Amino acid sequence: MRILGIDPGLKFTGYGCVELGPRHEPVVVEAGVLRLKTRAPLPYRLAELHNDLADLFDEIKPQIVVVEKLFSHIRHVRTGILMAHARGVVLLAAQLRGLKIDELSATQVKRAVTGNGHASKHQVQRAIMTQCGLREPPDPPDVADAIAIALCAARRLAPE
C-alpha cells in the first residue's frame, strides 16, 4: 500500500510517499517539493498546484492521500486562509482521482515522529532523517513534514 503525505503551501507543497512492506514497516518511496510561481496570481498558482498534483498522483499511484488538518493562529489569520486554498486544491485533486483521503493534525504527526506534539521543524527533520535512514535531513522542511504525515498515517494503518 502506498501512502502519500502532503504538506500544502502556495510557495512549496511538500510530498512524501511511503509504502507498507511485507512486515508492515513503512519505507520511503519518493519525496520532494512542488514549487509554485510565487509572483503569479493566486488562481494561477492554484491551477498550477492542481496540475502538478495530478501528475504526481499518476506517477506515484498512491492508495491513500493524507493531508495535515488546517490550524490557524489568531495572529496569522491571513496565512491560514491562504493555506486553506492550497489544502482545498489537494483535497479536490485527490477526490477527483477517487483516492482515499485522510487528515491528521500537526500535533498528532509531530508526536508520532518525535514524541513531542510541539516539536520544531528542525526536530521533525532530524527525526525523519534518523527514522528513514537518510544521510541528511530532508530540505526544505516541507518535505520532512510531508514524509512525517505519511509515516504517521502508515503506522496507524499497520496491524500491531
Is 145 designated active site? no
> Is-catalytic flag, 7?
yes
Q: Checking DSSP bridges between strand 26-35 and strand 12-20, what pairing results, if any?
A: antiparallel
Whole-model pTM: value is 0.93
Quick check: 119 and 130 in contact, CB under 8 A? no
Question: Does 49 score more than 70 pLDDT?
Answer: yes
| Contact between 129 and 122 (Cβ < 8 Å) | no
* Span 109-152, pLDDT tens digits: 999 999 999 999 999 999 999 999 899 999 999 999 999 999 99
- Options 102, 142, 145, 160, the catalytic residue: 142
Q: Is 68 among the residues known to form the active site?
A: yes
Alpha carbon distance 160, 146 (integer Å): 23
Catalytic residue among 30, 48, 52, 68: 68
What are the cell numbers at 71?
A: 490550524
